[in-house]
Amino acid sequence: MKKLSLICLSVCVLMTTVTAQNDPAAKKVLDAVGAKVKAAKGISATCTLNSFTSKGKPNGTQSISLQMKGDKYQLKQGKTEIICDGSTVYRFDGEKTITKSSVEEGSQTLSPQKLLSGAYDKDFTYKLLSSKTAFYEIEMKPIDKRKNFQQVNLFIDKASNSFSRARILDKSNNVTEVKISNLNFNAAVADSRFVFNKSKYPKDVEILD
């Protein structure tokens, strides 16, 4: 659940003007990605997370399905599930506990919207590291140093102007590599996916605020 939460909680940052600090070439790429996400009626994707310790030792792999529409999303990994209705986040641990919190309470990690959207001006400083391959590589660092990650490297597909993968370095120098596959910007995503319904879960499930 901790690994799943790495990309499912929303980023809430300090209001800081950072445009002058950012690379215009990187901004052009990110703006193109953001425009594509903004125009999407619904987004679906499969995410593979590979984790590594600070010494480079593999620390597990997860496959996660993502459904997203605007500021709402649903993430599923096996029996665990996270639903965000735009203001509240519900995290089911796959057994008997659901943790409920506001979007703002999860301000120290990344949300799928932030990772996919390309709208990073208020959250990160960024620069274009490479454009020599089929992907743009962009290095991003959070403005708010209280975040539980210190750097994100995004890889943007040149041909499709969409997110391909990311490398997230946390404060303990552990690494999570996120790879997106089956990315669909025209998915028919039902609004009901983002509505929390307690009856879908075990009868004895406990909800913790």
For residues 55 and 2, the model is more confident at 55
**Alpha-carbon span 62 to 59, nearest angstrom:** 10
DSSP string, 132-165: SSSEEEEEEEESSTTSSEEEEEEEEETTTTEEEE
Q: Does position 118 have pLDDT exceeding 70, yes or no? A: no
Q: Which of 18, 3, 9, 43 is nearest to 119 (CA)?
A: 18
pLDDT in tens, 13-35: 222 223 335 899 999 998 888 88
Q: Does position 110 have pLDDT exceeding 80, yes or no? A: no
Q: Does position 1 have pLDDT exceeding 60, yes or no? A: no
pLDDT, mean of residues 115-123? 69
Q: Which of 149, 118, 153 is nearest to 139 (CA)?
A: 153
Residue 90 carries which side chain, given as an amino acid letter? Y
**Alpha-carbon span 90 to 73, nearest angstrom:** 11
pLDDT-derived band at 7 (thresholds 50, 70, 90) equals very low
Report the pLDDT value the prediction gives residue 113, as an integer from 0 to 100: 60
Q: Does position 154 have pLDDT exceeding 70, yes or no? A: yes
Q: What is the pTM of this model?
A: 0.79
Chain-centroid distance, C-alpha 167: 12
pLDDT in tens, 31-61: 888 888 888 889 999 989 999 999 999 999 9
pLDDT-derived band at 147 (thresholds 50, 70, 90) equals confident
pLDDT in tens, 159-172: 998 889 999 999 99
**Alpha-carbon span 125 to 20, nearest angstrom:** 9
Report the pLDDT value the prediction gives residue 172, as an integer from 0 to 100: 94
